[in-house]
Structure 1
Amino acid sequence: MLKGFRDFILRGNVVDLAVAVIIGAAFAAITNSLVTDIINPFIAAVVGKPDFSAIVWHVHLFHKAGAAGAPDANAGVIQVGKFLNNVISFLLNAAVVYFVIVLPVSKLLARLNKAEPAPPSTKTCPQCLSEIPLAAKRCKFCTEPVAV
């Protein structure tokens, strides 16, 4: 029973997935810091706001009361700016993962797993120089007998 579980865990896919999840979680913190500490100051220099989180859309159709009976401050507020910040963070994550991990690994695997050239499936007729199948006994173009 435990042998099957051990074989399942030690198969390449499960271990690779576990490593990817752990590295992805750690990498998300780095990318979020990149967005908040490096990119957002540039946005603030151009736009005048430190990030997009201040962009909200107020929908005045809802007037829910809070716990104390006062109107809830967040009722009918759609946080568009926070969504934009998350989209920027996701796009940066995806770009870095692709250009730093996926692209180099795929090029390395392509270099390591170069396919051998396929064996020839045709031969040349000595009389008319046409391409004919290897198993042909006669050329289909000039009908000359050919050595097999």
Structure 2
Amino acid sequence: MLVANATSMLKEFRAFILRGNVVDLAVAVVIGAAFTAVVNSFVKGLVTPLIAAIGGQPNFAALKFTINDSVFLYGAFFNAVLSFLIVGAVIFFFVVKPLNMLAARRKQESPEPAAPTEDVRVLIEIRDLLQNRPL
């Protein structure tokens, strides 16, 4: 009985794992992690020095202000927001926008089926009436 339950559970687990959604999610997580490393490198290597050249300070983590001996470290938050915005912009312009353009092009290429002509519509109505009549 225990072996049968274990076998059944393993079969269910295998079916769950092999469903398309789970595999797609796993691939997305791995690619997302790799993509995050690329974007972080882009931010640290190119964007931050560019901001430093314009603003004079490459790392905003040290930015803070004090009120009544309470220190507010807003620089690290600013760095995180900047990274988030850059990641979002890169994903939008290099992933979402091209995919939307590709989907629009595919939709444009496949013409929508034409509406049935009047005689075809009448024939369809006659067919439906004949199918629904009592015998």
* TM-score, shorter chain, exceeding 0.5: yes
Give the 3-state SS of the residue equivalent to 2:63 in structure 1: coil
**Residue 106 of structure 1: CA displacement?**
4.2
What is aligned with 1:21? 29
**Residue 54 of structure 1: CA displacement?**
2.5
**Residue 60 of structure 1: CA displacement?**
2.0
Aligned CA-pair RMSD = 2.9
- The structure where helix makes up a greater share of residues is 2
Q: Give the TM-score normalised by structure 2.
A: 0.67
Preserved contact between residue 43 and residue 51 of structure 1 (Cα < 8 Å): no
5+ residue gaps, structure 1: 62-75, 125-132, 137-148
Preserved contact between residue 40 and residue 50 of structure 1 (Cα < 8 Å): yes
Q: Within the alignment, does 1:135 sit opposite 2:130 as a pair?
A: no
Is the radius of gyration larger for structure 1 or structure 2? 1
Q: Within the alignment, does 1:85 sit opposite 2:79 as a pair?
A: yes
1:108-128 alpha-carbon deviations (Å, 9 max, x no partner): 45528x66623414538xxxx
Q: How far apart in 2 are the matches of 1:105 and 1:45?
A: 34
After TM superposition, the structure 1 = structure 2 runs for residues 1-16 of structure 1, keeping only pairs within 5 Å, are 1-16=9-24
Q: Which amino acid aligns with 2:31?
A: I
Q: Give the TM-score normalised by structure 1.
A: 0.62
Q: Within the alignment, does 1:120 sit opposite 2:115 as a pair?
A: yes
Stretches of 4+ aligned residues off by more than 6 angstroms: none
1:43-69 alpha-carbon deviations (Å, 9 max, x no partner): 1111111132222122326xxxxxxxx
Q: Within the alignment, does 1:60 sit opposite 2:63 as a pair?
A: no
